Structure 1
Amino acid sequence: MEAFTAMHSGKTGLLLVSVCALVLAYKFWRHVHHPLYKFPGPRLAAWTNLPYSYWFLTGRQPFVMLALHEKYGPVVRTSPNELSFNTAASWKDIYGHRPGHGTFTKSDFYDGASFVDRARSVINTKDPAEHGRMRRYLSHAFSERALRGQEQLIAEVVDLFIVKLGDYGKSENGTDLHRWLNMMAFDLTGSLAFGESFDALQNGGAHPSVEFILKAVRHIARLEKPTERPDFLNRILENGDEEEISDVQLAAHASGLLTAGSDTTSTTLSTVFYYLMQHPDWMRKVQHESRTMFDSYEDITALSTQDMPIAKAVCLEAFRLYPPVPLGLSRVVPPGGDTVDGHFVPGGTVVSTNPLAACWSPSNFKNPRDFCPERWLEDWAGDAFEASQPFSLGLRGCVGKNLAWIQINTVIAKVTYKYDLEWINRDMNWHRDSRMYTLWEKPSLMVRVKARAGKVD
């Protein structure tokens, strides 16, 4: 009996080994015959999503992607069904409109960004037709007429920021400039999107709680009593079909604009001042530009700051060195497949252009890790300027691009016109100390603020 049991156990073990061997052989066969097999990348990433998930959880995913592109080249297989690119051509092929080509739709990644009751906004809707409809009525909120009407709302928040920065920054220990910029952008976007500021600046820079944000969302109810306030929601209702735009839909749009608008703007401005303080020669150039262009602080407006070439070059370089949206915006290749940067990619594959890998590639920019605003003023030969796309591009490019430029230009002009900044925590490194969890988590930027010498209003 024991001999029979042993023999039976041996056959069972052999059968299990054989089955496992067959399964592994089949998986290996599928691996080598996978349509993405030809694309380079980490071996484990071709088998499982675990490496990509781990890179994301560490908060260093943009820098991991940068290293992968430096090792494997302009296209990298980052998971079994996903490719990352870092070229200017890939931006156009994935996100731009190409006549005769299908639309690269948003991936399932955006399902996690749904608002209450699964309401879709212009940020996360995947249906191209629905997105087109949303963008049409949202575009009125960002039209030239609407932005002119919103200028006073913007100026009120920016001017309060200027006052608070001067008050808190004059102490010996200084203040966290990034924190104040974040609160300023949060208040400003809240004012425009929800119709009421969160008063983070007024409350000493305290970040509003989740409950306070939810309270702001409930302000959507004020739409039953239309106001003359020139904010986003009123502009949307003026030009949209009220029967199709529910309160929840409006709240979803406002919430998306709050997240996308406030964080990216404050990130860009923090990066600008970080590099200006790190490079005093460029700080002096920007200060000279603002202090000679404007006779008084009151002369600094959205219109008057449109033509500041030195400040704009600094901003473009800040965008390049520290893309405000560090994550590759994933898209799905349409059925039948299509080409990306000259590579045929099967339908259903998830593709993206990684912003940091594109902006830091020596194939796209000379001295890619150096702060060189002059490249944008002198049009450096060999630089692939279209590899830097901080607002993305195409039909799904940032609808608030013009508004973002107004905020950025106005803040830079007013800060450099009125103040001199002294950087305190010089042991901090903007890139080393940053983490990314969909958006950047940035270190403190401690500064001492002094009123400029000479003429001050």
Structure 2
Amino acid sequence: MQVQELAQQLALLSPLYFIGFPVLLVFAYLAYWGIYNAYFHPLRKFPGPLLARSSYIWYARNWIGGRWPHALSELHEKYGQVVRIAPDELTFSSAQSWRDIYGHSVKGKKYFRKTDWYAGVGDLPNSISTEPDPQKHSAMRRVLANAFSNSVLKTQADVIMGFLDMFVSQIRVHDKGEGICVEEWFNWLTFDIIGDLTFHESFGAVENAAQLHHNHGDSNPCLARPHFWISWIINGNFIRSLYPLFQKIPISRLFMRWIIPNMEDIREQRRQHIAYTKAKALKRASQTDVPTKDFFSFLLEKEDADKSDMFLTAQAHTLIIAGSETTAVTLTAMLAYLLRYPDKLRILNEEVRSAFSSKNEIDAEGTLPLQYLFAVIEETLRILPPVPFGLPRTCPGATIDGHVVPAGTIVSVSPYTASHDPQYWHDPEGWHPERWLAPEHPLHNPVFDMDNKEASRPFSTGPRVCLGVNLAYIELRMTVARLLWEFDIELLSKPIDWNTELKFFQFWKKVETRVKFTNRF
């Protein structure tokens, strides 16, 4: 009887009740979760916006909004050198926090493991940049470390010089006074160089510049791409930037088709990209008679190293991406800043042109003594770090810059914030190469003597410091020195403040930078 009465009462209820009650439960749970995160969570003592402390809303909005480095910088300016940016995540900006989080393990220092953030490329095994296990990573690094040593890279400077010869020739052919878009051309150059250095075969991007411009006519060659692999890497930055969001908010994957309507096309492009990379890697693995050592030589000659198809593909994928886009954005930014400050350009022109009597002298060794060129590179890397967001680590339970941080907390240092902190830099928003000059240099300015140079870590630090740092410096020195030795340069596109106006989607989104090159010879 009681069952019948209950059934009758339920039948009288509005259908809205059966919809509204579960919805109410969901909202009640979210409210409870938000209140707990904000006021009862182990990280409750750390400052930050309420939306960041209670939920992932602040994180999601700013991560996909294109202003992540600037948003973090604004938070640190408001809240200090440690800020809570998500319920389980802290960001730091102090020089000491670099050492505490990323530094080498010393007595009493626990290891900060890489988070699942690096597992975005699910169809490839872990590579030198994504492997979270410290022992496995050390083994990979030992195999590749010699490939990136200065002694080996010096022997490969001829490869870089060969591509620079071709690059200069193509500029002479195609710049008829209307200028060229260096943000694209530098991509072609860096992809070709890293392709050749990785598996002894370039992408033919610089060589195909002639056909590319012919096909596009007067439309907009700045939007042209000479190779589908390069296009996928550059165009896919926004898509790849969503992976961390999907990890933090798994339910967001349900809306992927609405966020990205052409998701199936993108997945197919991804499959083609991996297939092409695999084909290139296996082709190189089958070759035993390459005339000079490339990076794959070191992978293949190590007897106990993993030589499986997918492992080699993963390493190639990482080496190409890490060694191309970051260098290209820095080269573009260097020219943009030099053209914005003609007095700095004049100084560097004088240094470069007085140092060499022939283009053949502009190599890895010959550019080392150029102190002002070094200063221009360092200042560009400071004001616009090529990887400006904090690389996340899982805290094992440790003290970071005096703050006791519970185990399991995601922590990072914001490179952009640390390199713009007025506590460490005089006029941090200004581009001043002079801050990097030694006291004995005639252009040294003592106003920068109190700058804390350790706050700028564009290649990170510790056992996971960027493996390609030596190669990056060689490419930056040789490319800029060669261009300034061969040409007078002039900016034709609208000047912008690269520090404040650039958008960020995993990498900086470069803007059109059209430069006119006038032959000096």
The residue number in structure 2 matching 1:135 is 141
Q: Deviations over 1:164-202 (max 9, x none)?
A: 223223x23211011111110011111111320001111
Distance 2:274 2:159 in 1: 20
Instruction: Confirm or deny that 1:199 pairs with 2:204.
Output: yes
Is 1:103 equivalent to 2:105 in the alignment? no
For 2:190 and 2:153, locate their aligned partners in 1 and report how far apart those are by CA, in whole Å: 16
Q: Distance in 2 between matches of 1:344 and 1:298?
A: 55
Q: Which amino acid aligns with 1:105?
A: R
Match of 1:35 among 15, 39, 42: 42
Q: 1:166 to 1:18 in 2, by over 3 A?
A: closer
**163, 167, 183: which is aligned to 2:169?**
163
Kept in 2: contact 1:158–1:411 (CA 8 A): yes
Whether 2:194 is the aligned partner of 1:189: answer yes
Query: Do structure 1's residue 319 and structure 2's residue 372 form an aligned pair?
Result: no
CA contact (8 A) 1:176 1:446 kept: yes
- Per-residue displacement from partner, 1:236-293 (whole Å, max 9, x unpaired)? 222x235623232122111101111101111111111111000111111111111111
Instruction: String of CA shifts for 1:374-420, please: whole Å, max 9, x gaps.
Output: 11114723211111101111000011111111111101110111111
Q: Is the 8 A contact 2:102 2:460 kept in 1?
A: yes
Counterpart selection for 1:245 from 307, 311, 326: 307
Match of 1:218 in 2: 279
Query: Shift in Å at residue 234 of structure 1?
Result: 1.0
1:358-377 aligned within 5 A: 358-377=418-437
Return the alpha-carbon distance in structure 2 between the equivalents of residues 354 and 190 of structure 1: 30
Deviation at 1:26, TM superposition (A): 7.7
Q: Partner residue of 2:247?
A: none
Deviations along 1:134-159, whole A, 9 cap, x unmatched? Answer: 00001121123421331211111122
List runs of 5+ in structure 1 lacking aligned partners.
Answer: none
- Partner Cα distance (1:197, 1:355) in 2: 32
1:234 corresponds in structure 2 to 297
Q: TM-score, normalised by structure 1?
A: 0.90
Partner of 1:303: 365
CA contact (8 A) 1:140 1:236 kept: no
Partner SS for 1:386: helix
| Shift in CA distance, 213/281, structure 1 to aligned 2, threshold 3 Å | farther
Q: Which residue identity lines up with residue 120 of structure 2 in the other structure?
A: G
For 1:416 and 1:65, the matched residues in 2 are separated by 36
Q: Label 1:285 to 1:34 Cα distance change in 2 as closer, same or farther (>3 A).
A: same
1:56 corresponds to which residue? 63
Following the alignment from structure 1 to structure 2, what is the Cα–Cα distance between the partners of residues 229 and 261? 19
The percentage of aligned residue pairs carrying the same residue is 36
Over 3 Å counting, the alpha-carbon distance change for 1:298 and 1:30 in structure 2 is closer
Given the alignment, which residue of 67, 75, 86 partners 2:82?
75
Report the TM-score, using the length of structure 2 for normalisation.
0.80
Does the Cα contact within 8 Å between 1:87 and 1:358 map onto a contact in 2? yes
Query: Cα offset for 1:19?
Result: 11
CA 1:96/1:425 → structure 2, altered by over 3 Å: closer, same or farther?
A: same
In structure 1, what residue type is equivalent to 2:345? M
1:263 corresponds to which of 325, 342, 352? 325
Deviations 1:337-396 (A, max 9, x none): 101111111111001111111111111211010011111114723211111101111000
Change (3 A) 1:23 1:215: closer
Q: In 2, are the aligned partners of 1:196 and 1:216 still within 8 Å (CA)?
A: no
What CA distance in whole angstroms lies between the structure 2 residues aligned with 1:272 and 1:190? Answer: 23
1:173 corresponds to which of 165, 170, 178: 178
Q: Structure 2 counterpart of 1:218, which letter? A: A
Could you tell me how far apart the structure 2 residues matched to 1:172 and 1:263 are? 27
SS of residue matched to 1:58 = coil
How far is 1:23 from its partner?
8.4
Q: Which residue of 2 aligns with 1:126?
A: 132
The one-letter code sitting in structure 2 at the alignment partner of 1:91 is: W
Secondary structure of the corresponding residue to residue 156 of structure 2:
helix
- CA–CA distance in structure 1, aligned partners of residues 57 and 492 of structure 2: 40
CA RMSD of aligned residues (A): 2.6
C-alpha separation in 2, matches of 1:332 and 1:25: 25
Question: What runs of 5+ residues in structure 2 fail to find an aligned partner?
Answer: 213-224, 230-271, 438-443
Aligned partners of 2:327 and 2:34: how far apart in 1? Answer: 46
Whether the 8 Å contact between 2:395 and 2:407 is mirrored in structure 1 is: yes
The DSSP-based 3-state class of the residue aligned with 2:206 is coil
The answer to whether the 8 A contact 2:278-2:309 is kept is no
Give distance in 2, aligned partners of 1:60 and 1:18. 35
SS of the equivalent of 1:111 reads helix
CA distance in structure 2 between the partners assigned to 1:113 and 1:26 by the alignment: 30
Helix, strand or coil at the partner of 2:450: coil
